[in-house]
Amino acid sequence: MPRTKQFNEEEILIKAMELFWERGFHATSMQDLVSHLGINRASLYDTFGGKEELFNKAFSRYRSGTGDMLRKLFENAKSVKAGFQQLFDMSIRESMEDPFRKGCFVVNTTTELIPGDGELLQILNENKSNMEHFFAQCIQKGIAEGEFHKDMDAESVAAMLFTLYSGMRVVAKVDPDPIKLKKMLDTGLSILDQ
């Protein structure tokens, strides 16, 4: 008779995500995972596969949660520009409040594992495309509602905002100075006023 699992898979996945996010893929050993997750090695392999499979599932969980957060944030924002302002303000606030300076799991993974992993590169390209597409849709909505200039190039502005977001997450890990980050943000978001 098969043994019943004594743990919640979703909770374990979230704990694994947090550990990979904090330490990165290479610096996280299987023993680190066993100790941090509180389950034995055999259960870990049986449920999630090896370290790479667990990382991929944790990384997918992070991206899914980020996508849900983005949609909700913009749905509840009073305007498109306010949505972008809230998103960037939130990233600055997270950088200030995180004692581990984890930054963004996607950005961290890109800088740690690319180049070198073709499958992951494809996933990261899809993630970039999805975020830029979402930003462009938001900008198109702002144009349609008269918030932004009708000649604004939504795709180019979306790509620039994605780059600004990713870059700020890296800079905040090195120099989490809120004044500098806010100035950078204000300069970047000024493109929406043109």
User: Residue 194's pLDDT is what?
Assistant: 77
Q: What angle do CA 13, 17, 164 make, to 5 degrees?
A: 140
Query: Stretch 13-18: mean pLDDT, rounded?
Result: 96
Contact call for residues 139 and 148 (beta carbons, < 8 A): yes
**DSSP letters along 112-131, please?**
HH-SS-HHHHHHHHHHHHHH
Q: Is the pLDDT of residue 1 over 50?
A: no
pLDDT digits over 143-166, tens only? 999 999 999 999 999 999 999 999
Closest to 109 (Cα-Cα) out of 174, 176, 20: 20
Query: Stretch 14-31: mean pLDDT, rounded?
Result: 96
Instruction: Return d(Cα 177, Cα 168) in angstroms, integer.
Output: 11
Query: In order of start, what are the domains of the chain with their CATH numbers?
Result: 1-60 (1.10.10.60), 77-193 (1.10.357.10)
Q: Is the pLDDT of residue 113 over 80?
A: yes
Instruction: Return d(Cα 5, Cα 182) in angstroms, integer.
Output: 47
User: Residue 7's pLDDT is what?
Assistant: 79
Instruction: Return d(Cα 116, Cα 107) in angstroms, integer.
Output: 15
Helix and strand tally (H, E) in the chain?
A: 9, 0
Instruction: Return d(Cα 126, Cα 53) in angstroms, integer.
Output: 19
Share of the chain above pLDDT 90, in %: 89
Is the pTM of the predicted complex or chain greater than 0.85?
yes
Q: How confident is the model at residue 4 (pLDDT cuts 50, 70, 90)?
A: low
